[in-house]
Amino acid sequence: MQPRASEQPRSVFDRFAESSSHFVSTGAFFGISVVLVVLWFPTILLIPSVDTWQLVLNTAVSVLAFLLVALLQNSERRSDLAAHHKLNLIAAGLADLMQHAAGPDAGDLQVRADALRRAVGLEDRGA
d(C-alpha 26, C-alpha 116), whole Å:
40
Q: What is the pLDDT of residue 1?
A: 37
Query: How far is Cα 96 from Cα 109, in angstroms, rounded to an integer?
Result: 11
Q: Report pTM.
A: 0.58
Q: Report the alpha-carbon distance of residue 1 to residue 61 in Å, rounded.
A: 44
More confident residue, 8 or 16: 16
**Is the pLDDT confidence value at 6 over 80?**
no
Query: Would you say residue 73 lies in a domain?
Result: yes
Please state, in angstroms and rounded to a whole number, the distance separating the CA atoms of residues 6 and 103: 35
Classify residue 90: in a domain, yes or no. yes
Instruction: Please write down the HEC assignment for all residues of the chain.
Output: CCCCHHHCCCCHHHHHHHHHHHHHCCHHHHHHHHHHHHHHHHHHHCCCCHHHHHHHHHHHHHHHHHHHHHHHHHHHHHHHHHHHHHHHHHHHHHHHHHHHHCCCCCHHHHHHHHHHHHHCCHHHHCC
Question: What is the reported pLDDT for 122?
Answer: 62
- Structurally, the chain folds into a number of domains equal to 1
Q: Domain residues for 53?
A: 11-125
Does 1 map to a domain?
Answer: no
Report percent pLDDT > 70 for the chain.
84
